[in-house]
A and B are shown apart, each in its own frame.
Chain A
């Protein structure tokens, strides 16, 4: 059974850093693109970042480019999102999600339960 479990969220002050983790199980982790998607309270879904299977290619939404870094450790079946210089507008539930297949980058039907990041003084 595919499972994705996020962790690392919490309440932080503006300007600080936070690292989110997403531990995967139930599939060959290194074969899939992985994604981070966020949802601000009461708002819609926004793609944040993606990374390919071997970690050599990544992309970011303009709103986080230069501040967030996605990475992965295939030995630990874990994808990370390093978030620096956090702003109040980064407050959201952050979901990790898996690509639909090993041959496509686009997201599929497997999502974690989300972890809440609150940026506030």
Chain B
């Protein structure tokens, strides 16, 4: 099973700041990594697929990069509504594991 390790566990930033979230895989994923955003009481929302492609309707301030084992989700200028837990997820290998999540707090 591929293990995804996200860092940091918690991130506290102010509106307008830049957020950088990391996801490291225990083996190469090529570019098959996705990022999800989840707010309390809601289903996960797909932000990025295949490492760097924004899903439909996702604002341009969200971007993804990386390949192999190291991936990054960047939110260029934080908005209050970006407060959520962010998960990375791999899909080349069953089971399609998720990272443990990064909680982003907006001050």
| In contact, B43 and A61 (Cβ under 8 angstroms) | no
Contacts of B97 in A (CB 8 A): 47
Contacts of B16 in A (CB 8 A): none
Which positions 54-107 of chain A face chain B at CB distance < 8 Å? 59, 61-62, 95, 100, 104-107
Query: Is A53 located at the chain interface by the 8 A CB criterion?
Result: no
Interface range, A side = 20 to 34
| In contact, A107 and B43 (Cβ under 8 angstroms) | no
Which positions 58-107 of chain B face chain A at CB distance < 8 Å? 87, 89, 91-92, 94-101
28 A–B contacts from the bound complex (CB under 8 Å): A35-B96, A44-B87, A44-B99, A44-B100, A44-B101, A45-B36, A46-B98, A47-B94, A47-B95, A47-B97, A47-B98, A59-B94, A59-B95, A61-B95, A62-B95, A100-B49, A106-B92, A106-B96, A107-B91, A108-B49, A109-B45, A109-B46, A109-B49, A109-B55, A111-B43, A111-B44, A112-B43, A114-B43
Chain B proximity of A73: nearest CB distance (Å) = 23
Residues of B within 8 A of A (CB): 32, 34, 36, 38, 42-46, 49, 55-56, 87, 89, 91-92, 94-101
| In contact, A109 and B56 (Cβ under 8 angstroms) | yes
Residue of B nearest to A61 (CB): B95
Chain B proximity of A60: nearest CB distance (Å) = 9
| In contact, A45 and B98 (Cβ under 8 angstroms) | yes
A106–B91 Cα distance when bound, in Å, is 6
Residues of A within 8 A of B (CB): 35, 44-47, 50, 59, 61-62, 95, 100, 104-109, 111-114
| In contact, A106 and B32 (Cβ under 8 angstroms) | yes
Contacts of B89 in A (CB 8 A): 45, 107
Chain A proximity of B25: nearest CB distance (Å) = 15
A88–B87 Cα distance when bound, in Å, is 25
A100–B96 Cα distance when bound, in Å, is 13
Contacts of A62 in B (CB 8 A): 95
Contacts of B42 in A (CB 8 A): 113
Residue of A nearest to B97 (CB): A47
